[in-house]
């Protein structure tokens, strides 16, 4: 009889999972209240100290388009950088890329959609026009030493078109990797349409084609399947995940829905399963606990509300009497 130990996705056995924080961009850009610059810097610093592998600090879009992130340069320049943490920024065009590089971004995150309808609605361009613009950015930053990641929105479904065919998603991935030379690709579940079987299939398909390329999965918890999708992706070979502190964020095409998967919830679950996320959960929870005051409302995070699994509560004040009465009943 074989004594070989068979591990499953339920037994992390110390496997490294890289947690990448997007709340300071994807989350804060969706807020109506402007978080003061010094508070943004303090939040990024706290996330760095908590051990996140990568932090999407901000977005270099027009301040008129996203006024919540109009302080992008100052935030990226003044954060305290921790060795080993990658500080990335979303950029929409060459000018945004130039601003990000001037502000010392380690990586540029470029975005387009797998869905023509979503790309036109969100970016006001066809997919081919977006791809040409991304190619311009890549050419403009060659030789800068800054890494390039491309995020593909609606990779798991479009709120206007429905399912996006897997061959379409993979062909855009091919163009990112082989034509643009992107160092990493992020498959984004922009409006929370992904489900575990689909996630596993697409993750495996990507890994078959580009086994050495850095792959990130970006899930939203819109329909309550965020953690299940993370586990399905891990089972299929993924080891990098975007998540948002407090679970903040959202999308205008899923009104009223919750935001990105919650960083502290994912870290908590994976730690219980034996995975190594490199994240100091108490420090992360301390940072998340500051969010409601910063943004002016409660956040979706269930861990902030209920505490960690073994955060115990005191017994009732009359517990001794209850026990005595129970014993007396024999």
The answer to whether the CB of 161 falls within 8 A of the CB of 147 is no
Cα–Cα distance measured from residue 78 to residue 116, given in angstroms and rounded to the nearest whole number: 38
Cα–Cα distance measured from residue 283 to residue 294, given in angstroms and rounded to the nearest whole number: 17
What are 87's two structure tokens?
A: 């500080």
SS3 of 235-288 = HCCCCEEEEEHHHCCCCCCCCCCCCECEHHHHHHHHHHCCCECCCCHHHHHHHH
Cα–Cα distance measured from residue 38 to residue 46, given in angstroms and rounded to the nearest whole number: 12
Catalytic residue among 154, 173, 251, 262: 251
Cα–Cα distance measured from residue 122 to residue 115, given in angstroms and rounded to the nearest whole number: 10
- What are residue 35's phi and psi, to 5 degrees? -80, 125
What are 184's two structure tokens?
A: 């990493």
Q: 59 has which bridge partners?
A: 90
CA torsion through residues 21, 22, 27, 33, sign: positive
Helices 127-141, 94-102: axis angle to 10 degrees equals 40
Q: 220 has which bridge partners?
A: 260
Q: In the annotation, is 173 catalytic?
A: no
Name the DSSP class of 162: B
CA torsion through residues 263, 269, 271, 277, sign: negative
SS3 198: helix
Which residues have a Cβ under 8 Å from the Cβ of 82 and sit 6 or more positions away?
48, 49
Cα–Cα nearest to 151, from 97, 91, 84? 91
Residues tagged active-site:
251
């Amino acid at each position: 009889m074989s004594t070989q130990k068979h591990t499953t996705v339920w037994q992390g056995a110390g496997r490294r999972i890289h947690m990448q924080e997007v709340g300071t961009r994807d989350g804060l850009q969706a807020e109506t209240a402007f978080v003061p610059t010094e508070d943004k810097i303090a939040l990024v610093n706290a996330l760095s100290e908590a051990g996140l592998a990568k932090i999407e600090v901000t977005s270099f879009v027009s301040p008129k388009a996203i006024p919540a992130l109009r302080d992008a340069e100052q935030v990226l320049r003044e954060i305290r950088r921790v060795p080993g943490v990658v500080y990335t920024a979303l950029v929409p065009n060459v000018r945004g890329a130039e601003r990000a590089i001037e502000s010392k971004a380690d990586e540029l995150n470029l975005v387009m959609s797998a869905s023509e309808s979503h790309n036109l609605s969100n970016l006001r361009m066809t997919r081919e026009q977006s791809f040409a613009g991304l190619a311009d950015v890549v050419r403009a930053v060659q030789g800068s030493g800054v890494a390039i990641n491309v995020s593909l929105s609606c990779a798991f479904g479009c709120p206007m078109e429905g399912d996006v065919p897997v061959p379409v998603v993979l062909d855009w991935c091919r163009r990112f990797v082989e034509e643009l030379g992107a160092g990493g690709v992020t498959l984004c579940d922009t409006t929370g349409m992904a489900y575990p079987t689909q996630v596993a299939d697409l993750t495996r398909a990507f890994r078959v084609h580009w086994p050495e390329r850095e792959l990130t999965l970006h899930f939203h918890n819109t329909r309550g399947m965020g953690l299940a999708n993370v586990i399905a992706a891990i089972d299929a070979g993924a080891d990098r995940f975007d998540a948002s502190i407090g679970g903040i964020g959202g999308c205008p095409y899923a009104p009223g829905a919750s935001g990105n998967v919650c960083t502290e919830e994912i870290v908590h679950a994976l730690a219980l399963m034996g995975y190594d996320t490199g994240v100091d959960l108490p420090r992360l929870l301390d940072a998340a606990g500051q969010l409601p005051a910063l943004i002016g409302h409660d956040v979706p995070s269930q861990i902030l509300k209920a505490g960690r699994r073994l955060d115990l509560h005191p017994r009732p004040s009359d517990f001794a009497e209850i026990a005595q009465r129970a014993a007396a009943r024999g």
